[in-house]
Amino acid sequence: QKEVEQNSGPLSVPEGAIASLNCTYSDRGSQSFFWYRQYSGKSPELIMFIYSNGDKEDGRFTAQLNKASQYVSLLIRDSQPSDSATYLCAVNRGTGGFKTIFGAGTRLFVKA
């Protein structure tokens, strides 16, 4: 079992729709969770992080965390073609100070 698992996709949604990206992790001691966006040929850029159960909203993005189910998700509302990228889920055993484990990423295509 991989430490952090994501559907590789591609996930295709029409412009203006909600894109839902999912991630599961195996280490129950994980405490902080991150979503990164990576455009082809570029390095990852942070979208948001979450460390408490529930939802966290930032603009068009909402991260959801359920530690009991070891599940974290990212919702993108009003998807735009510029959101087309690979979305990486990352997990850390602390608030920092431990290695961060990345999933393989989910490719998202937003069709105009």
Partner 1 sequence: DTGVSQNPRHKITKRGQNVTFRCDPISEHNRLYWYRQTLGQGPEFLTYFQNEAQLEKSRLLSDRFSAERPKGSFSTLEIQRTEQGDSAMYLCASSPGIAGATDTQYFGPGTRLTVL
| Residues paired with residue 67 on neighbouring β-strands, in sequence order | none
Figure out which of the listed residues 10, 12, 14, 45 binds partner 1, where binding follows CB under 8 A.
45
Q: Which is closer to partner 1, CB of 12 or CB of 18?
A: 12
Choosing from 17, 56, 101, 109, the residue that interacts with partner 1 (CB under 8 A) is 101
> Left (φ > 0), alpha (ψ -120 to 50) or beta: where does 3 sit?
alpha
**In the bound complex, what is the minimum distance in angstroms from residue 81's beta carbon to partner 1?**
22
Report the DSSP beta bridge partners of residue 112.
none
Contact between 54 and partner 1 per CB under 8 A:
no
